[in-house]
Structure 1
Amino acid sequence: MSTAGLARTRVRRADIVAAALELFADKGYLATTMDDIGRAVNVRGPSLYKHVASKQDLLVEIMETSIETVLRDHRVAVGSTDDVGDQLRRAVEAHVRFHARHRLEAFVGTRELRHLSEGARAAMAARRRDYERGFRVLVERGVAEGRFRVGSVRLTTYSILDMGVGVSVWFRDGEEFSVDEIAYRYGDLAMRLVGAA
């Protein structure tokens, strides 16, 4: 295939994934058909299968891309400083930014997890545990260093993660706060939650 042909295939696949994301968020995974996805990108029947193998593959790709992004953003945030307080704040800000900018991915990732095949669901659950563990390790370290004061590391970690995920429900770009303002304020909230000095 020519370079131009490969580029068109990549663009077409990106269009298909984007259409599937919108439809999964709007109608739900089970109610969305491959015909719905094909209509959304103006591709009929068999031609669609030249680009994607199945609706399940689309769901897996959406979720894998999302978890890869948040894990990468977390690594960058934590790797940018050695100070545990700054690491937690930056990790929270990255978490909030993702959920503000990728609302549909967050919604589909939460609601449609149960529709992944058993193997894909187990793999995704393991990746999500890795992500949660990244925050828990920071809270544990902050407590061990006397920087944080919490009653329960586990509950505090879940609270921080839930706060960020909640942003995807209510945040709308162009309203009262920018993404960066929300991220900064949530960083403040997280630092209060861990009892940082």
Structure 2
Amino acid sequence: MSRGPTRRAPGPRAREIRDAALALFAERGYAATTMADIGAAVGMRGPSLYKHVGSKQELLAQIMTGTMDDLLQTFRVAVAGCEDVVERLRRAAEAHVRYHARHRLEAFVGTREIRSLEEPHRTDVLRRRAAYESAFRALLAEGAEAGRFRIATVKLTSYAILDLGMGAAVWYRENGDLTEDQVVYQYGDFALRLAGVH
């Protein structure tokens, strides 16, 4: 059983290794990727690679916990200083979609490889994921109680809004017909409609 991710100085080499692992996990899957594959992608052999990272499991945990920490911070920044619950929901939904449009590989690996995490990493990631979902549900519940939202089920509405980001991660491309801002704004509208805002 692995221990929690080792806290290492996030130097440029460590970031390069993390990015190579992310790309390989997305392309081949965690199970089919070896540390030798990751080393080859950055031009490093075993002994040098292990100076920067302890294990493949540690890399996966760093990617997934880092992604959830980024999402939680993005949410907090998006809603900070805003009193209106409708505007907070729009800002949170737009930030959620924008993050997923910019971090497609993290979204893909985060969804597919949760089963590959060992303890305590799996519990750490699931706890962060639950906190993120709860933040959206708290917004929806507040708006419903204030009469600003008309929703049948807070839980299902939160899932539907969160799915907007996951969907954008699948299909959005920077060179597509729609700009990132266009996608984000329209998806913000979709989130408000899902919440029953008129």
Normalising to structure 2: TM-score of the pair? 0.94
Matched with 1:185 is: 186
1:100-156 Cα shifts (integer Å, max 9, x gaps): 000000000110111111211011101100000000000001000000001111111
Aligned letter for 1:76? V
- Amino acid paired to 1:149: R
In structure 2, stretches of 5+ residues that fail to align are 1-7
CA contact (8 A) 1:80 1:87 kept: no
Kindly report which structure 2 residues correspond to 1:63-142, keeping only aligned pairs within 5 A, or say none.
63-142=64-143
Partner secondary structure for residue 118 of structure 1: coil
1: CA distance, partners of 2:189 / 2:173: 20
Displacement of 1:94 in angstroms is 0.3
Q: Distance in 1 between matches of 2:97 and 2:186?
A: 10
* Residue 58 (structure 2) aligns with: 57
Secondary structure of 1:29's match?
Answer: coil
**Partner residue in 2 for 1:149:** 150
Deviation of the 1:78 alpha carbon: 1.2
Tell me, yes or no, if structure 1 residue 28 matches structure 2 residue 16: no
Q: Which structure has the highest helix share of the two?
A: 1
SS at match of 2:120: helix
Q: Return structure 1 stretches of 4+ with deviation > 3 angstroms.
A: none
Deviation sequence 1:143-184 (CA, Å, 0-9, x none): 000000011111111110112111101111121111111111
Specify the code of the residue in structure 2 equivalent to 1:154: K
- Kept in 2: contact 1:89–1:191 (CA 8 A): yes
Deviation at 1:80, TM superposition (A): 3.4
Conserved 8 A contact 2:65-2:124:
no
What letter is aligned with 2:125? M
CA distance in 2, matches of 1:11, 1:163: 32
Instruction: Give the C-alpha shift of residue 11 in structure 1.
Output: 1.0
Percent of pairs identical after alignment?
A: 54
TM-score where L is the length of structure 1: 0.94
1:162, 1:58 → 2: CA distance?
A: 26
Structure 1 residue identity aligned to 2:72: L
Shift of 1:12: 0.8
The root-mean-square deviation of aligned C-alpha atoms, in Å, is 1.3
Equivalent runs, 1:30-49 vs 2, <5 Å: 30-49=31-50
